[in-house]
Structure 1
Amino acid sequence: MQQPTRRGVLGSGVAALGALAGCLSSSYDERPVGDGEAPWPADPTWEPADGSPKAADIREVTAVQNLSIPWDLTFAGGDALLTERTGGLRRFDAETLRTDSELAPSDGERILRDAELPDRTGPGEGGTLGVAAHPDYPDPPVVFVYYTADDDLRNRVVRYDILADELTPIVDDIPAAEYHNGGRITVGPDRRLWVCAGDATDPAHAQDATSLGGAVLRVGLDGEAPAENPDFGDGTDPRLYSVGHRNPQGIDFTPDGEPIVAEHGPQSRDEVSALRPGANYGWDVARGGPTDTQYDAYADYEEFTPPLLNTGELGTWAPSGIAFYKQEAIPAWHNRLFVAGLRSQTLFCVTLSANGASPPGGNRFDADWLDDRYTVTVHQFYDGEYGRLRHVEVGPEGALYLLTSNRDGRTIQEFPKDDDDRVIRIEPQ
């Protein structure tokens, strides 16, 4: 059954499903909620750093320049693996990326070309998107890539053995469209592959537990559904972990292994959520509080789980990649969440506190209809300085890496710059 928040705001009963005036309602009579079998942390065992994250003593360096719309970056086994949405997969030496500056794309070996991905296409926001490495990389030398295929237009995850040069599809038939393709993938601390799938501009996917769209998937490294996944009922897809998402593009884990997801909202209303197994996050019925002018309130639906943070009708982050900073190299950032913003052109530092504490100088999200598992406080970095930020990733030595997205045709103001797109390294001063 669905776990309520501590405030119990979801216990007010289920609103009549026919009374959805003023919102873009779903036509489903029953909205899916899974029977969560996976463990969900009851009490966090970690705390964020004291004080303000603005106290960090840092500097910024352009590590790589002149890339073609970089989309994802991950570190594994001494390598830095980077995708470009209009291309394939590059491999940089992680130590070189940590120490050098103004590297060229050619300093990273192209180990998988776009033409080598079967049926690859790149409409709108589609193309070559997420990358994740096998947890034992480089033994085996296996990576996973999420990309858009023009075979009936779908998104697909493939397993790629670099040495054998073998590609094996492991998740197929993820709905695709010009927009809302999701695309972020990662291997979690549970050694499972987590996949963020967008609704492909069809919100019905998000409330259909037979579809892989508008959902977060959890699969084994072979693409099969783990036995411990939540059960959404007869005939539903066993690879689903949570449903009711619009366009999730960021996922990472707390030190306890709790999944945190960021997703794009409609006309603002961007969200950061703590994922619970079998939960339904409400899209496209509920998307805000009791005063929202277009969507129903989360508190009106017992079956919906609210987010930790919702930016509201006037707040636009356009969140993409996220990273939970567990390193010690920048002490003021220890155990804080970072969210890369596209349209906002901002890096958001999100402090999650289980004891109600709030660092000074930030914007606190504490409306009584939000998931109160954590107290949420947000600070902003680099507002407009680097343009659109597609992803943020923590390096093995504790530097933080930003990927810009200024050559995707959607920039504003003075971007793109001559050296865009870039990987920006943020390191201790």
Structure 2
Amino acid sequence: MKSCFLLAGLVVGTACSAAPPAPTGAKPFVETVVADFDAPWAMTFLPDGRMLVTEKAGQLKLVSADGKSAITVAGTLPVASEGQGGLMDIVLAPGFASNRLVYFSFSETGPGGKGVALARGKLSGDTSGKPRLDGVEVIFRAHPYVDGNGHFSGRIAFSPDGQHLFFTNGERQKFDPAQDPKASLGKVLRLTLDGKPAPGNPLAAQGFDPAVWSYGHRNLLGIAFDSAGNLWEQEMGPKGGDEVNLIQPGKNYGWPRASNGSHYDGRDIPDHKAGDGFEPPKVWWNPVISPGGLMIYSGSMFPAWRGDAFIGGLSSQALVRVDLNGTNAAKGDQWNMGARIREVEQGPDGAIWVLEDGADGSQGRLIKLTPA
């Protein structure tokens, strides 16, 4: 089985298997369909329970808490939505209740080809029925921009103290940039809230781009902090070898020099092993799950899962739970959802919400999960 993105009926950039996951027992939750979207990519909750949902083609929707209304938010920027590109992650700024700032990522065309950009704007008009983002500005662009439509990544997470922003840049299916110290591609970046390289990043003195926090990554589609302040990340492997990593400053995670998967043409990639100089994954999958969004649960509705990670499975059409225990991790449950799961989020009341990908031409449903 192989990691893949399925878009408009075509496999883009990688091969995949449509085999469903093996069930791990009856689902311990009830699924309630709340709304439908056109190829949704990410979501975030406003303090009052409403949601912002991004759609791949470039639309941002303000959705009522019950899902019955979805209004397009004006002020977003043009996106390059071919292949794996589009309007991607969206996260509220620290202090959103007073500053109303929203951060979002998207792919665009620029000098040299395409890349992922990070922007922010102020949400206004959301109570008048004419929501918009004011003062939108791009505060960071991946570099270099290259040809192709894959592995943009573009996930956003704020540090627990609200002082730094972590941003993922995929290696754009180009392999070598993940090890190139001058490129931001294939890296986790630590930025200021204004999108500048954060002072004190661990590799700047060694000649790396000063924004780099960790490197040797492939396609990083989930990043989140746990309650202890540990930073977790998941990424797609090649033919096998999807990973969950504990991100540590200055570490090299190996891609493309080490992977528990192999190249699509059958060529071997050395597996992670002790003493190879690379940080190994805490959990890996072969066959793969094709991981989408990542969420670490902190609610009370599912108390047995508090502190665990949840991952949306794309080709596996699954919701995947990973047991987190301090800085260790182990595979937990894998539930067959019957559709590609792009995003997982926790609601204000502790429910788990999932977004179906919908990139195969079907509607991507927003589903709320509550205890059975």
How big is the shift at 1:55? 8.7
**8 Å CA contact 1:388, 1:405 repeated in 2:** yes
How big is the shift at 1:77? 2.2
Distance in 2, Cα, partners of 1:300 & 1:259:
22
Question: What's the counterpart of residue 328 of structure 2?
Answer: 374
- The reply on whether 1:117 has 2:77 as its aligned counterpart is yes
How big is the shift at 1:300? 5.9
**8 Å CA contact 2:240, 2:260 repeated in 1:** no
- The reply on whether 1:155 has 2:155 as its aligned counterpart is no
> Do the aligned partners of residues 61 and 208 (structure 1) sit closer, same or farther apart at CA in structure 2, a change above 3 Å counting?
same
Instruction: Spell out the pairing of 1:90-109 with structure 2 (5 A cutoff).
Output: 90-94=61-65, 96-97=66-67, 103=68, 107-109=69-71
> Do the aligned partners of residues 88 and 170 (structure 1) sit closer, same or farther apart at CA in structure 2, a change above 3 Å counting?
same
**8 Å CA contact 1:56, 1:331 repeated in 2:** no
Bigger CA drift: 274-283 or 294-303?
294-303
- The reply on whether 1:165 has 2:134 as its aligned counterpart is yes
How big is the shift at 1:91? 1.6
Question: What's the counterpart of residue 63 of structure 1?
Answer: 34
How big is the shift at 1:54? 6.7
1:91 maps to amino acid? L
- The reply on whether 1:305 has 2:274 as its aligned counterpart is no
Bigger CA drift: 83-92 or 279-288?
83-92
Instruction: Spell out the pairing of 1:106-255 with structure 2 (5 A cutoff).
Output: 107-112=69-74, 116-118=76-78, 120-152=79-111, 153-163=114-124, 165-174=134-143, 175=145, 177-191=148-162, 192-255=164-227
> Do the aligned partners of residues 375 and 300 (structure 1) sit closer, same or farther apart at CA in structure 2, a change above 3 Å counting?
closer
**8 Å CA contact 2:119, 2:139 repeated in 1:** yes
**8 Å CA contact 2:58, 2:81 repeated in 1:** no
1:402 aligned to which of 354, 357, 370: 354
Distance in 1, Cα, partners of 2:158 & 2:26:
31
Distance in 1, Cα, partners of 2:64 & 2:33:
16
Q: Indicate the percent of aligned positions where both proteins have the same amino acid.
A: 30
2:371 maps to amino acid? P
How big is the shift at 1:222? 0.5
Which SS does the other structure have where 1:297 is aligned? coil
Question: What's the counterpart of residue 17 of structure 2?
Answer: none
Distance in 2, Cα, partners of 1:182 & 1:162:
24
What is the aligned-residue RMSD (CA, Å)? 2.3
How big is the shift at 1:208? 0.9
2:77 maps to amino acid? L
Question: What's the counterpart of residue 254 of structure 2?
Answer: 282
**8 Å CA contact 1:218, 1:239 repeated in 2:** yes
Question: What's the counterpart of residue 305 of structure 2?
Answer: 333
How big is the shift at 1:301? 4.9
Question: What's the counterpart of residue 421 of structure 1?
Answer: 364
Distance in 1, Cα, partners of 2:185 & 2:249:
17
Distance in 2, Cα, partners of 1:226 & 1:155:
19
Distance in 1, Cα, partners of 2:291 & 2:38:
20
**8 Å CA contact 1:74, 1:393 repeated in 2:** yes
Distance in 2, Cα, partners of 1:138 & 1:82:
18
Gaps of 5+ in 1: 1-52, 98-102, 355-372, 410-415
**8 Å CA contact 2:159, 2:166 repeated in 1:** yes
Question: What's the counterpart of residue 237 of structure 2?
Answer: 265
**8 Å CA contact 2:283, 2:329 repeated in 1:** no
**8 Å CA contact 2:172, 2:185 repeated in 1:** yes
TM-score (norm 1): 0.73
Question: What's the counterpart of residue 42 of structure 2?
Answer: 72
Distance in 1, Cα, partners of 2:283 & 2:157:
22
> Do the aligned partners of residues 320 and 299 (structure 1) sit closer, same or farther apart at CA in structure 2, a change above 3 Å counting?
same
How big is the shift at 1:338? 0.6
Distance in 2, Cα, partners of 1:283 & 1:323:
23
Per-residue Cα deviation, 1:168-210 (whole angstroms, up to 9, x for no partner): 1111134463111112212231312211111011111100121
**Count of aligned pairs:** 332
Distance in 1, Cα, partners of 2:300 & 2:200:
33
Distance in 2, Cα, partners of 1:215 & 1:273:
13
**8 Å CA contact 2:38, 2:358 repeated in 1:** no
Distance in 1, Cα, partners of 2:310 & 2:296:
6
1:262 maps to amino acid? Q
2:315 aligned to which of 331, 334, 343: 343
Question: What's the counterpart of residue 392 of structure 1?
Answer: 344
Question: What's the counterpart of residue 49 of structure 1?
Answer: none
Distance in 2, Cα, partners of 1:194 & 1:422:
28
Which structure has greater strand proportion?
A: 2
Which SS does the other structure have where 1:162 is aligned? strand
Distance in 2, Cα, partners of 1:288 & 1:56:
30
Per-residue Cα deviation, 1:3-54 (whole angstroms, up to 9, x for no partner): xxxxxxxxxxxxxxxxxxxxxxxxxxxxxxxxxxxxxxxxxxxxxxxxxx97
**8 Å CA contact 1:353, 1:374 repeated in 2:** yes
How big is the shift at 1:93? 3.4
